[in-house]
Amino acid sequence: MNHFDTELEKSLKTDNIHYERLPKKDEENLINKIQQKITFSGSQINWKILQNATDLSHIDKSLAFSEISEKLNSLGVQRVIFLGDSAIEYAYSIAIADLRRALDIFAEFPQHTYIFPEQLHWIACLAFEGHIDYADLPYDEA
């Protein structure tokens, strides 16, 4: 575990946010699922081609986090996955009730942080450049 994961877990514990660090095998499966479902432009999601993509970068970060939290809390998901693309080595599963506080913590790390449920019917991204994006994704037929 690297320095960033240590600091992240310390912050989550301090804020009394219960989390699960996912095994690397689960993380790899989630990455494969994302790559199959979403088109990337370079190392970032190509938000322009996703239906109903919303860019919240133009509003205050705190307000954007509140909007994301309210919307996602209303979707009936129990847990969300936080997956970083560089600084944080592990994926973390966090209860949806802790989403708002977790967003503040993950936003402090120099990376793109993707937030999504395991079913991957929506995805959000906090980019270290200040971008905050969200998009609904089609449900998989099972």
pLDDT digits (tens, 9 = 90+) for 5-21: 999 999 999 999 999 99
- Cα–Cα distances (Å) from 92 to 41, 42, 55, 95, 113, in that order, read 24, 24, 24, 10, 11
Virtual torsion, Cα 4, 131, 52, 116, nearest 10 deg: 10
- The sign of the dihedral angle between the CA atoms of 107, 110, 111, 112 is positive
Spacing of C-alpha 131 from chain mean position: 13
Range in 2-16, 48-62, 99-113 with the lowest mean pLDDT: 48-62
Residue of 30, 22, 54 whose CA lies nearest to 119: 30
Split at pLDDT 50, 70, 90, the class of 141 is low
pLDDT digits (tens, 9 = 90+) for 58-96: 888 888 888 888 888 888 899 999 999 989 999 999 999
Total Cβ atoms within 10 A of residue 50? 18
Tell me if the pTM is above 0.75: yes
Amino acid (one-letter) located at 40: F
